[in-house]
Amino acid sequence: MTDVKDWNKAGGEKTEAMLLAPDKPRGIVVYEVCSACHLLEGWGLKDGTFPQLAGQHRSVLVKQLTDIRAKNRDNPTMYPFALDEQIMAVSGYHEGEINPAQLVADVTDYISKLPMNPDNGKGPWNELFPEFAQGKKLYADNCTQCHGENGEGIEDKFYPKIHGQHYNYMLRQFEWIRDGKRRNANPDMVKQIKGFSDKDMQMVINYVSRQKVPAKDLAPSKDYQNPDYD
């Protein structure tokens, strides 16, 4: 794995986008293209092909999108939608009319305010299984400092919210981070989880996938449809 220095150093498009005032109508327009994979509700897919984005901290969305745009996070699926020429095209603006960082600010703010899926993909073991308890201990011993007691993350430190995320997506990302396949991973996390076995990984992600999301952050039902695209 390439050593990622200054993992979250201030500067560049990330900081620029964080400081810009977002525009919701533009965010709606830009996100419609994203919805081809992440769905209009921002819920992704339970099979883990695409993550839930709805309700994620804006800081995390900005960092991950700008990392992809800078090709510091390998995501060929998103390149056709996220790079300058593409993001400008979907916005309806032309070069010189708007800064791409503004579009990043617009779309990430919009996504961060979408209600989350009340029925995310979960791991195989519920509270009655010993694997659930073992996952809970692994989480408490290794993950709470960054991701919080309930998987809520820390917005001002760019630590993602992981409760409510799909089990299969988290499992894949955890494995890639552990095995050095995700170039923009936080080096502290790489060190923290390097000794996890595959079973450890499955148990801790199972536990996280079953943590309750606060009701205020959830859509009213799994049949909810985003009213911005009626």
For the chain, domain boundaries? 12-112, 130-217
Is the four-CA dihedral 87, 36, 176, 57 of positive or negative sign? positive
Nearest to 32 by CA among 106, 97, 83, 98: 106
Average pLDDT, the chain: 94
pLDDT of residue 89: 84
pLDDT of residue 47: 97
How far apart (Å, rounded) are the C-alpha atoms in residues 201 and 203? 6
How far apart (Å, rounded) are the C-alpha atoms in residues 69 and 167? 26
Nearest to 214 by CA among 116, 135, 136: 116
Tokens of 229: 């695209």
Architecture of domain 12-112: Orthogonal Bundle (1.10)
Superfamily designation of domain 130-217: Cytochrome c-like domain (1.10.760.10)
- Its pTM stands at 0.95
Which amino acid is present at 133? A
Q: Answer whether 12-112 and 130-217 agree in fold.
A: yes
pLDDT of residue 2: 41
Cβ proximity of 109 and 123 under 8 Å: no
pLDDT of residue 192: 97
Three-class secondary structure of residue 80 per DSSP: helix
In order, the DSSP letters of 110-160 are HHHTSPBPTT----S--TTSHHHHHHHHHHHHHTHHHH-TTS--BGGGTBP
pLDDT in tens, the chain (230 residues): 344 557 888 889 999 999 999 999 999 999 999 999 999 999 999 999 999 999 999 999 999 999 999 999 999 999 988 988 888 888 888 778 899 999 999 999 999 999 999 999 999 999 999 999 999 999 999 999 999 999 999 999 999 999 999 999 999 999 999 999 999 999 999 999 999 999 999 999 999 999 999 999 999 999 999 999 98
Phi/psi of residue 218, each to 5°? Answer: -100, 150
Cβ proximity of 171 and 205 under 8 Å: yes
